[in-house]
């Protein structure tokens, strides 16, 4: 198996828990309260700023131009692509930029992003991608799963979110990260793989915790 396939297997039980989480299933069947979704979107918006910073540290740690460009392009994609989904929903919900700037990240959110930033600070490009990939890949899995539910992608409120993460563009971006993970981990020792797996599984656990946080609307 490739490194990415082994990582997938290591995190699979956690991702299955994410797929069956009431917040995620609520998006799929349209029963999730708008209040919970609004809380989630604001917290996720704040999360993405730090997520982009993890990619930015990849630019710093990269040793060649191609890898620097890859990390840099992902920073641009987050700030000017994925975050547009959030901005569009905020507009629909009547949330102003002033209101967004007043929101404080929840403790679970801070814990997750600080872990990723610490990994990026102490590790190299492979560790950085391992920390990033859990989020990207799990959202691709969720988007694809929800899109298979009849009528879910056509829901008047949640349909746009589902279509965004089930899109071909998002799948291609995620696959590029999977391929990069395998490229950077080529020739890694078992000890090195164990470290990548630890990071990937920890970030997957944080992903599950993020859904818990949003469901309970924790401070």
Other CB atoms within 10 A of residue 52 CB: 17
- Catalytic annotation present for 186: no
- Please tell me the distance from the alpha carbon of residue 67 to that of residue 180, in angstroms, as a whole number: 9
**Residue pair 179/78 in contact by the 8 Å Cβ criterion:** no
- Catalytic annotation present for 203: no
- Please tell me the distance from the alpha carbon of residue 201 to that of residue 219, in angstroms, as a whole number: 24
Instruction: Identify the DSSP state of 104.
Output: P
- Please tell me the distance from the alpha carbon of residue 145 to that of residue 143, in angstroms, as a whole number: 6
Q: Which of 18, 82, 127, 135 is catalytic?
A: 135
Buried b / exposed e along 166-201 (16+ C-beta atoms within 10 A): beeebeebbeebbebbeebbeeeeeeebebbbebbb
Token couple for 68: 């620097």
- Please tell me the distance from the alpha carbon of residue 165 to that of residue 218, in angstroms, as a whole number: 25
Closest of 92, 166, 181, 170 to residue 133, by C-alpha: 181
Tell me the catalytic residues. 135, 207
């Amino acid at each position: 198996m490739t490194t990415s396939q082994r990582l997938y297997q290591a995190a699979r039980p956690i991702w299955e828990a994410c797929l069956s989480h009431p917040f995620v299933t609520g998006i799929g069947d349209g029963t999730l309260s708008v209040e919970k979704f609004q809380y989630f979107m604001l917290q996720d918006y704040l999360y993405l700023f730090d997520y982009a910073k993890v990619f930015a540290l990849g630019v710093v740690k990269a040793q060649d131009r191609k890898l620097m460009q890859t990390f840099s392009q992902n920073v641009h994609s987050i700030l000017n692509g994925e975050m547009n989904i959030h901005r569009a929903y905020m507009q629909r919900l009547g949330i102003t930029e002033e209101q967004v700037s007043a929101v404080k990240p929840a403790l679970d959110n801070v814990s997750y992003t600080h872990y990723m930033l610490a990994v990026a600070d102490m590790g190299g490009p492979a560790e950085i991608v391992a920390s990033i990939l859990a989020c990207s890949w799990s959202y691709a899995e969720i988007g694809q799963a929800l899109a298979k539910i009849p009528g879910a992608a056509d829901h008047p409120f949640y349909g746009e979110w589902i279509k965004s993460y089930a899109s071909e563009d998002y799948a291609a971006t995620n696959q590029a990260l999977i391929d990069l993970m395998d490229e950077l981990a080529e020739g890694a020792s078992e000890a090195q793989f164990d470290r990548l797996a630890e990071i990937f599984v920890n970030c997957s656990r944080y992903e599950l915790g993020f859904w818990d946080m949003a469901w309970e609307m924790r401070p």
